[in-house]
Copies of this chain bind each other. A is one copy, B any other.
Amino acid sequence: MTLPWEADLAGRLDRHTIHSAALEGNHLGDPADRPLWVYVPPGYDDDPGVRYPTVYVIQGYTGYLTMWANRTAYRQPFPEMADELFASRQAPPCIVVYVDAWTVYGGSQFVDSSGTGQYHTYLCEDVVGWVDTNYRTLAGPEHRGIHGKSSGGFGAMITPMLRPDLFGGFATHAGDSLYEYCYIPEFGKAVRNLRDYDGSIDRWWSDFRGRVAFTKPADENLLMMLGISACFSADPDGTPRLPFDPHNGVLDQDVWGRWLDWDPVRMVPRYADALRSQRAIWIDGGTSDEWFLEIGGQAFSDALGAIGITDVHFELFEGAHGRIDYRYPMALAYLAERLSAPSVR
């Protein structure tokens, strides 16, 4: 093992900032100029005639781009693990694109929303367009994949459903799904947490913004409640609507219905053709995921089976929601393999 503080890449990681037309004037005032990391595998510069499949990598809730450089003991950051995969020829060469979709609420769920911004459009038009223009990609969907964990896993599931013209493969680790299971327990906690704020999430937000973050146990839960509401159930003017009554927990069926419309398990039948067009689907989750997301993965996998999609890598592994980054290279290798295959069209 090399020492933890040493890491040289065999490939090259380019750090860019791109401008997103889609994010201009977004509701939260987050910047339209975004960092973008593009990794090219070893050999990319040797033969200017070769084009490569591309895998877009997106992050979980509260993630932002530079966190990919974070280091932990006895493990390597994903960009280094990914590089090693290509350097050692365990996976066919790919371009890997690290995308930032941070908002001041902690995330975007990679959807277009009046409450956050046009992050789906940003990803599909601005980022993909820029990458295809500036790198030697194989630009067809059969050579473009998307990968993520948690909220990033959610984004990886839904983006190809919405844009099969762009994406032909995806991998999700513990991706948000089966929303009764992952969200309703959070609603219960939120009702409790909001007791100190007279049931007003706005009051909590004001409090949160005026002090050191995450010094109160309620912070993580309420941030997620506010943020996901902004993504899935904002009013036309951008105001987030909670899917439950903050005083008594009763679900607002209209608002909750807007959330359920974004449940990947429920989306499968609506996007059956898009899903059938995928060349690579990887789904996994830890058997003790704190949000039951491995059950969501199972449900999503079974929903695919119900529309005839059985060529899926589905796997439960021992573990919870955290510390599962070691799973990412496995999925990346799977995507790289599938998306490198010759086009059949």
Q: Are A180 and B299 in contact (CB under 8 A)?
A: no
- Nearest B residue to A209, CB-CB: B1
Q: Are B65 and A5 in contact (CB under 8 A)?
A: yes
Stretch at the interface among A140-148, A165-173, A186-194, A270-278: A186-194
Q: Are A5 and B100 in contact (CB under 8 A)?
A: yes
Q: Are A319 and B5 in contact (CB under 8 A)?
A: no
Determine the main DSSP class of A at the interface with B.
loop
Q: Are B4 and A326 in contact (CB under 8 A)?
A: no
Stretch at the interface among A69-77, A229-237, A335-343: A69-77
27 pairs, A vs B, C-beta closer than 8 Å: A1-B104, A3-B31, A4-B66, A4-B102, A5-B64, A5-B65, A62-B72, A62-B74, A63-B73, A74-B106, A75-B213, A178-B250, A180-B251, A181-B185, A181-B187, A181-B188, A192-B287, A195-B287, A215-B318, A215-B326, A245-B299, A247-B298, A248-B295, A248-B301, A249-B292, A249-B296, A250-B302
Measured between beta carbons, the chain B residues less than 8 angstroms from A245 are: 299, 302
Q: How far is the CB of A57 from chain B (nearest CB, A)?
A: 16
- Nearest B residue to A5, CB-CB: B66
Cα distance, A300 to B67, chains bound together (Å): 36
- Nearest B residue to A34, CB-CB: B5
- Nearest B residue to A299, CB-CB: B248
Residue of B188, B287, B295, B319 near A249 (CB, 8 A) is B295
Q: How large is the interface on A (under 10, 10 to 19, 20 to 34, 35 or more residues)?
A: 35 or more
Q: Are B250 and A265 in contact (CB under 8 A)?
A: yes
Residue of B67, B73, B191, B213 near A64 (CB, 8 A) is B73
Cα distance, A265 to B318, chains bound together (Å): 38
Measured between beta carbons, the chain B residues less than 8 angstroms from A5 are: 35, 64-66, 100, 102
Given A75-B212, A180-B180: A191 in contact with B295 (beta carbons within 8 A): yes
Whether A184 is near chain B, meaning CB under 8 Å from some CB there, is yes
- Nearest B residue to A220, CB-CB: B73
Minimum-distance CB pairs A-B, first 6:
A74-B213, A62-B73, A188-B292, A248-B299, A70-B70, A248-B298
